[in-house]
Each structure stands twice: as C-alpha cells, then as structure tokens.
Amino acid sequence: MMSEPAAAALLVCDADAVVEGGRGVRFAVSAFGDDGTGFVVRYGGKVYGYLNRCAHVPIELDWNQGEFFESSGLYLMCSTHGAIYVPQTGQCAGGPCKGGRLRPIAVHEEHDKIYWQPDEFVKAPPVSI
C-alpha cells in the first residue's frame, strides 16, 4: 500500500512576530483527534514548535496567550503549576512535569514567514464553515 503524501506546510505567522526568548505565537491544530493549539517560540535565533499541552496535566501552557517563556527567557514554563521545559528539546527541566516532555511540531522559517508541518498525529484543524 502506498503511504499518504505528506501534508503541505501551513503558515503560522510573520517571522518577526516570534521574539527571541519572548512572545511566541499559537496556532490551531487537531491533536490526536481533538481540537488543540500548537505554538512556536524562538531561542538562540532558531524557531521551535510544540503542541501546547503540558506534560503534567494536559492543558495549555500559556495563561496569557503567547507567553511561554519564564522571566529569565531560558525556559518555557507552564503557567498552571510552573513546570519548566528546555526550549530546544521540550524536555522537562523542573517542576511537576518530571521526566516528561512537550510534543514537538516541526516548524521552519522561509522568506520571513514561519510554517508548521502537520504529521500523523498533529494535523491541520478542520476547516470551520
């Protein structure tokens, strides 16, 4: 059987909307069959994407939309109970996420825009009519 062709990359935002160690941008996804959000952040000049779902309790990380970094700008932090994650890997670095990690979503920059790549489990959201 032939495998399905890879889904096309989808636009997230302008590249300069994602600030180094600062504001990130959310985007709608369908994650494992449920509505959800992904997010993109910038760290060390590179963009990283994850499913917006804490490894502690499966809820969104950002209490204020787009705020994913803690105050030092070194770690991503869940606003609910303070789990912290390494921005480059999504690995838990402290707090109640012990041993867990964020689910990565492939993102890339091209011509001053950021795109995300749907995969087998994190897909484009259904188009609302």
Cβ 93 to ligand FES shortest distance, Å: 12
Task: For ligand FES, give the closer residue by CB, 22 or 96.
Answer: 96
Task: For ligand FES, give the closer residue by CB, 6 or 57.
Answer: 57
* Count of positions (residues) in the chain: 129
Cβ 10 to ligand FES shortest distance, Å: 26
Residues 127 and 57: their CA atoms lie apart, in Å, by 28
- DSSP 8-state class, residue 69: B
Interface residue list for ligand FES (CB under 6 A):
54, 56-57, 59, 78, 80-83, 95-96
Q: Which residues are within 8 A (CB) of 129 and not within 5 positions of it... i.e. 6 or more apart?
A: none
Cβ 24 to ligand FES shortest distance, Å: 16
Q: Which residues are within 8 A (CB) of 58 and not within 5 positions of it... i.e. 6 or more apart?
A: none
